[in-house]
Structure 1
């Protein structure tokens, strides 16, 4: 193939802005100069890979990564990833010392994925990025004297429900609404018994024939993302959802198609609203919800419920603070403690010996050293001493027609010990997901605790390399702070584990790291990597998400931020993310993902193309609607304003651009274009730089800066070509043209000089100068060709044979607008044109 039009130097512009000169004797800037610092052109391209016919983009893994022996710039033996999508971001693993050599792949319209080098070489399918969260809390039974049998010994279960006497599971489908009270008695294998009374309420099904779930929504907090789903248990899909009375919390919206309540609450207070679902046949169902929006509190209390006490039996239970700065202080803010119990203000230990039976309600507040606080309401029963106790202490309400299931557990011994258990799924690569909801149970410190977990579903296993389950439990320190510690790791196919470990067995081990480690959103795209191991990507036009440092699978929702303009793409310079938008660009900075802060860069430069964003060491470069923009956190600079006119830039069709950077140069191409001037080369570090056109004879489908060599890799004609191979000496022919030089009135240029250097291996034997005004440049016989236009008409074509030779323009014609063009294959380092011979500078 033939590739032409590569430039070897910077731009030619007037030394002063003509429009700003006063009307003096000179009246205007008479001279145009070009300075290039001896930049060389590109070498001939080399085919390094043949693409599949369906490929739209690619990524190269060099042999130095594959086998560790061949240099990265040796393209033989490379592994190529090929994609059907136009826009694919591939990021080598930021995981420290990643022995699996993983690559993370972000594609619009597909869930973020990853693959190991071994799987890429073998041609295996990619894996879905992120570890799923278990769908259910663990079931925990405690005590050392099992098994237990369960029976209803007082009252009766709601119609439609039954108690499994062996497992303690109450399940079924309620058939009648109402409030119910019944007593369940548990009997241990050695004859000890214990009872507890439950008072659940079951409401009638929603109006119409559709039944909605859930029946209640959790409370929200100001400034914290609220994300809940409502759904229909029967009916014919698709469904639509609408708020038919009341009002959603300010800042929260309802997706009419998916039934998703999503947003960031802005106002605290009680809310009440009704959501109505309609199926495809016109049947409807409604459910009223009353979630509260509370002020953001940094401190939460654990546990969320307290074990019951027994009359005349010593009681001790620590209440701890989480999320604040130690130490904490504790106080009873409302209600009354059971008689005989006191709360230690420093440790949070609720202790003593109950002296009266009854049900007691009170609220405890924990305040940290930074002035943040949080509260938790408790209900505690004090009963006559028993040998067997049931947990949980209360069971949830239900709804008629909706399947109900609740497990009861029994404990033998004095009720003085509380633990919370939860579990996580873990991949074979050691990636850990967000934990399940916790289960808080009461038992004896020297007893056994049997934890039953829910294994991953087939949907959760699909496309993920899940292998294990980590089980954690809380240990409450002397200051009242509760921390989850790893108890054990079991295969994901194992559904239960009996914990007999003491606190001292696990207290020095692994602490739960992944409390908020949800996977990335399925529509995340445009990912970039910061030097500190944080990945960033964007979704939903305005949201930017961040991963935990060096953990690409963990993307806490609380780290996300919003940009007020539609996002085009992201670039990175140092530790700053430059967000290119349809309006003002933004700079996002922060040392950790939870401190990322956006700030607007006060220059309106709308981005033209997501593919035309190039990250650099000192700045991010992108194609805007007005030119090539250099952006940092401190501001922007439009680099092309001095080297081409606005009409020239618009004519290049910026929305079709792809752009990559190498060192201080930018290469820009039009996607899927093969025509004159379908690309340009631009040098960014020269004052008043110019640009050079690039022309290919086949459509360019994709362009990438190689991650390992910074070579420019370009796909056209069914292959990938290296555009600066360094193994070839011969430069390709190039074409450079100036911007339109507009004079205040018609004037006549006298002539000019062009200074250039000819490498010894490129020397030619020149013949008689070609004076034909219709000639084309011949790289086998010529060094340079000069073309000059006046008012859009070509007025001179001149072959230049010697560096610095005087070129005289045709006399007697004056023009308002001039343009100069050079064609050649040597290195030009200075060109100048003036209105008199005296004004030509010496070099």
Structure 2
């Protein structure tokens, strides 16, 4: 009789060790099973050249500039920040946007990285406010007519603020109309209008100009003039035929001061949320967040993820799927699963779907459905022991890598789990250099860039009829040696042997009446197979 292992697989904690499928493990620690062999994973390596921040909690690397090294942005003090780059192609200012650090913020990369690190060192508030005060209209001093000319029109005005980046905010409208006419042949003098301009509110906005618009006889507001932000009055003598572009920003409000979870979507749209309200920016105008685009969820939002099927919204109730290509016409669908999200940082975009931690296990939500994908992996009590509220997770090599209070696990859908003896308080996956950066107190380290870690892999329990387990010899095929082989019989360790080469070696006698047998390997070198047999002739 022979016990042979040549395809090493993952843990399935829910299944009794006697009932595990062939090749699956009771324990798989610090192992890489991608090749079907047992390999040691590499540990962490301290990252060099990153800025020092006391107790960092969020990392982000802007991939361009700085001699090809990019720029690191770091936040501490417990801030959980969501960062995204400008949705504009070839953005001349290379802007970065973020939420989770007070009110929503933005900065051009040269502004965010001005001076010495840590960065960001400077910022502006995301969005532009309305001008402050009233917009008043009056007749010019030279108007003195009793009969208005035939070209006289009722007009109203609007003023917006424009940033140094060309962003335009919502308007303030005049609270009355006034008659004006063009200065043409035969028209009396005084056809212009004196506009008393509102002021610029204080705040980190980087306002560059005021922009004046005019509407005539029920038409649309059209551009009149670009004015200094300090201008207080303007006399409008612009002829009707010389009016410019239509006012675009009537509904372009600032994002709510409490908005968080900033996420980029296709078609130049950004999304965020506060409370139970989901928000969308105007397409390719990340400073503009119309209230009319907001959607109310049945429950408070925990986090969001943009996947191939749309935007997955995870709440304190059922998840929601938001679909659409225009922020003004988004459709909302509730996914039929009673699994709330218990940790915003557990939400990971896996491409076709998002995975998140729920009270009963990991849930995959995407398309038009959602399901608990660890239902056959964990019991409810095993899952609760991991403290799912503490999970923060990342997509790495197509797998779900989750850190919890006490360690971490890698979940591969359809295969199972591997646990690693590594702890972290946060992290950032850098797509540009395919590296996962982890936070460990004051240390920032790179996942799987360090020295190999000692692995441990234990087989299922093999039940052998008493008297049939006269195992006398064993062989371990490895890439390098030494490796350690352990045998357990009826729960007791009967062998702990340092294997030095691929030759057969003898096993201790006296255990032929034992029923339950387990095989465990430990080491740093890759193992291809393990054989335990009753006679040397059975070994290959």
Normalising by structure 1, report the TM-score.
Answer: 0.53
Deviations 1:130-172 (A, max 9, x none): 1001244522234xxx417xxxxxxxxxxxxxxxxxxxxxxxx
Question: Is 1:732 equivalent to 2:453 in the alignment?
Answer: yes
Deviations 1:377-410 (A, max 9, x none): xxxxxxxxx43xxxxxxxxxxxxxxxxxxxxxxx
Deviations 1:70-113 (A, max 9, x none): 266xxxxx4342332341111122233222222112116x1111
Quick check: 1:130–1:553 contact (8 Å CA) kept in 2? yes
Structure 1 residues 842 and 469 mapped into 2: Cα distance closer, same or farther (>3 Å)?
A: farther
Deviations 1:292-315 (A, max 9, x none): xxxxxxxxxxxxxxxxxxxxxxxx
- 2:106 maps to what in 1? 114
Quick check: 2:11–2:417 contact (8 Å CA) kept in 1? no
Question: Is 1:469 equivalent to 2:462 in the alignment?
Answer: no
Structure 1 residues 734 and 516 mapped into 2: Cα distance closer, same or farther (>3 Å)?
A: farther
Report how far residue 450 of structure 1 moved: 2.4
- Given candidates 95, 99, 102, the residue that maps to 2:88 is 95
Q: Where does 1:549-560 land on structure 2 (aligned, <5 Å)? A: 549-560=283-294
- 2:410 maps to what in 1? 681
Structure 1 residues 465 and 829 mapped into 2: Cα distance closer, same or farther (>3 Å)?
A: farther
Quick check: 1:470–1:488 contact (8 Å CA) kept in 2? yes
- Given candidates 448, 457, 462, the residue that maps to 2:192 is 448
- Given candidates 505, 508, 514, the residue that maps to 2:242 is 505
- 2:306 maps to what in 1? 572
Report how far residue 415 of structure 1 moved: 7.6
Quick check: 1:587–1:600 contact (8 Å CA) kept in 2? yes
Question: Is 1:547 equivalent to 2:281 in the alignment?
Answer: yes
Report how far residue 632 of structure 1 moved: 0.8
Report how far residue 521 of structure 1 moved: 0.4
- 1:562 maps to what in 2? 296
Deviations 1:167-202 (A, max 9, x none): xxxxxxxxxxxxxxxxxxxxx5x5x4xxxxxxxxxx
Deviations 1:788-817 (A, max 9, x none): 6968x76775656678989999553456xx
Q: Where does 1:351-750 land on structure 2 (aligned, <5 Å)? A: 386-387=146-147, 413=149, 416-438=152-174, 439-446=176-183, 447-457=191-201, 461-474=202-215, 482-506=219-243, 509-540=244-275, 542-574=276-308, 576-670=310-404, 673=405, 677-684=406-413, 687=414, 689-696=415-422, 700-725=424-449, 731-736=452-457
- 1:141 maps to what in 2? 138
| Separation (CA, whole Å) in 1 of partners of 2:11 and 2:531 | 8
Q: Which runs of 5+ in 1 are unaligned?
A: 1-7, 20-27, 73-77, 149-187, 193-385, 388-411, 765-781
Structure 1 residues 710 and 614 mapped into 2: Cα distance closer, same or farther (>3 Å)?
A: farther
Q: Where does 1:52-201 land on structure 2 (aligned, <5 Å)? A: 52=52, 54-61=54-61, 65-67=64-66, 69-70=67-68, 78-107=71-100, 110-123=102-115, 124-142=121-139, 146-147=140-141, 188=143, 192=145
Report how far residue 416 of structure 1 moved: 3.9
Report how far residue 637 of structure 1 moved: 3.8
Larger Rg: 1
Deviations 1:336-380 (A, max 9, x none): xxxxxxxxxxxxxxxxxxxxxxxxxxxxxxxxxxxxxxxxxxxxx
Question: Is 1:783 equivalent to 2:524 in the alignment?
Answer: no
Structure 1 residues 627 and 737 mapped into 2: Cα distance closer, same or farther (>3 Å)?
A: farther
Quick check: 1:755–1:803 contact (8 Å CA) kept in 2? yes
| Separation (CA, whole Å) in 2 of partners of 1:753 and 1:463 | 72
| Separation (CA, whole Å) in 1 of partners of 2:151 and 2:447 | 75
Normalising by structure 2, report the TM-score.
Answer: 0.80
Quick check: 1:667–1:681 contact (8 Å CA) kept in 2? yes
Quick check: 1:433–1:514 contact (8 Å CA) kept in 2? yes
Quick check: 1:416–1:443 contact (8 Å CA) kept in 2? yes
Q: Where does 1:764-803 land on structure 2 (aligned, <5 Å)? A: 764=481, 782-783=482-483, 785=485
Instruction: Supply the RMSD in Å over aligned alpha carbons.
Output: 4.1
Report how far residue 748 of structure 1 moved: 11
Report how far residue 122 of structure 1 moved: 1.8
| Separation (CA, whole Å) in 1 of partners of 2:531 and 2:35 | 15
Q: Provide the secondary structure at the position in 2 that maps to 1:537.
A: strand
- 1:370 maps to what in 2? none
- 1:215 maps to what in 2? none
Q: Provide the secondary structure at the position in 2 that maps to 1:592.
A: coil
Quick check: 1:10–1:683 contact (8 Å CA) kept in 2? no
Structure 1 residues 591 and 53 mapped into 2: Cα distance closer, same or farther (>3 Å)?
A: closer
Quick check: 1:576–1:587 contact (8 Å CA) kept in 2? yes
Quick check: 2:489–2:515 contact (8 Å CA) kept in 1? no
Deviations 1:562-588 (A, max 9, x none): 221332211121251112223322211
| Separation (CA, whole Å) in 1 of partners of 2:398 and 2:477 | 22
Quick check: 2:130–2:169 contact (8 Å CA) kept in 1? yes
- 1:33 maps to what in 2? 23
Deviations 1:528-555 (A, max 9, x none): 1112221111112x11111112222111
Q: Provide the secondary structure at the position in 2 that maps to 1:682.
A: strand
| Separation (CA, whole Å) in 2 of partners of 1:51 and 1:713 | 13
| Separation (CA, whole Å) in 2 of partners of 1:426 and 1:510 | 15
Quick check: 2:51–2:74 contact (8 Å CA) kept in 1? no
Structure 1 residues 43 and 17 mapped into 2: Cα distance closer, same or farther (>3 Å)?
A: closer
Deviations 1:24-43 (A, max 9, x none): xxxx9685324955076543
Q: Provide the secondary structure at the position in 2 that maps to 1:595.
A: coil
Quick check: 1:785–1:824 contact (8 Å CA) kept in 2? no
Structure 1 residues 44 and 31 mapped into 2: Cα distance closer, same or farther (>3 Å)?
A: closer
Report how far residue 754 of structure 1 moved: 10
Quick check: 1:652–1:678 contact (8 Å CA) kept in 2? no
Quick check: 2:343–2:388 contact (8 Å CA) kept in 1? yes
Report how far residue 736 of structure 1 moved: 4.8
Q: Which runs of 5+ in 2 are unaligned?
A: 1-6, 26-32, 116-120, 184-190
